[in-house]
Structure formats: structure tokens, C-alpha cells
Amino acid sequence: MGWFDLAEVEWVGVAIATLAAFLVGFLWYHPRGLGTLWSRLAGVDLAELRGRVASRSIVAVVVLAVTSIAMCVLQAELLVVSIVSGLVFGAFLGLVWRLAWGLLHGEYEQRPFALTIIDGAHDVVALAVIGAVLGAFL
């Protein structure tokens, strides 16, 4: 498979990875999860968010799908082709490019540290799930 050759993307794997990552976000930010704490730290009204479920969900699915496609191409090129190696690969990407960079930006933006950790840890878990699912299909 050549770089960004979409002809060999495992589309079923991408769809399942997208939905799995969406489910992680739903549970992570649900009021019974970390949603109440997150909304307080972010200064966001949960009632307001409920009114925008459709638009937020569309954005989330598009972002997660594009991420899953890109990770599928990368994993295929790098031969990250098992559940465990995909999980580690996704977690590594999340730790380095999302959590670490989030900490950098959070410090400059003077965001609450706990808010940055909640968001960054979510992304680590979501990317690990995407990587694991894709690893099962590659």
C-alpha cells in the first residue's frame, strides 16, 4: 500500500473504529462519567450542550472518521497489524501528539490543568481504541 492510497483502506474497520471512538467520547463526557466535572472546569452549561447534540455528533463523527482513515493508512504502512500493536500505536500517538501538546497549549492558555488532563486522556483512550480496532482488520 502506498502512502495515502485509499484503495486498500479497510473501510469496515474504519467504520467500526469511528463508532467505537464515538462511544468512548459519549461515555467519557457523559454526566455520569467526567462530563459534569469537565463542564464545570470548561465553563460550559450541560443544558446548552444537550440542545446541540446533533451538530456536535456530526462534527465528532467526521473528525473520528478522518482520523481513523489516516491511522489506517499509517498502520498499514508501518505494519501495525494486530490489536495489541494498534492499541499501543494509538495510545502513543495520543500521548505524544494530543496529551503532550495539549499540556503545552493548556499552559499558555491558562486552562485548568485538570481540564487538559480530562481532554488529553480521552484522546489517548480514543486513539488507542481506534488503533486496536484497525489492528484487528489489517
Taking only the tens place, the pLDDT of each residue in 55-95 is 999 999 999 999 999 999 999 999 999 999 999 999 999 99
Residue 100 lies in domain? 6-137
Q: Residue 66: inside a domain, yes or no?
A: yes
Q: Residue 104: inside a domain, yes or no?
A: yes
Reference 64, options 20, 101, 99; nearest CA is 20
Q: Residue 30: inside a domain, yes or no?
A: yes
Asked if 110 and 57 count as a contact pair (C-beta separation under 8 A), the reply is no
Average confidence (pLDDT) over 36-58 = 91
pLDDT of 2 > 60? The answer is: no
Q: Residue 57: inside a domain, yes or no?
A: yes
Q: Residue 34: inside a domain, yes or no?
A: yes
Asked if 124 and 94 count as a contact pair (C-beta separation under 8 A), the reply is yes
pLDDT of res. 51: 85
Q: Residue 107: inside a domain, yes or no?
A: yes
Residue 66's identity, in one-letter code, is: V
Q: Residue 1: inside a domain, yes or no?
A: no
Residue 3: pLDDT band (50, 70, 90) is: low
Asked if 14 and 134 count as a contact pair (C-beta separation under 8 A), the reply is yes
CA distance 36 to 93: 27
pLDDT of res. 35: 94
CA-derived radius of gyration, the chain: 16
Mean residue pLDDT across the chain: 94
Instruction: Report the number of distinct structural domains present in the chain.
Output: 1
Q: Residue 84: inside a domain, yes or no?
A: yes
Residue 4: pLDDT band (50, 70, 90) is: confident
pLDDT of res. 50: 85
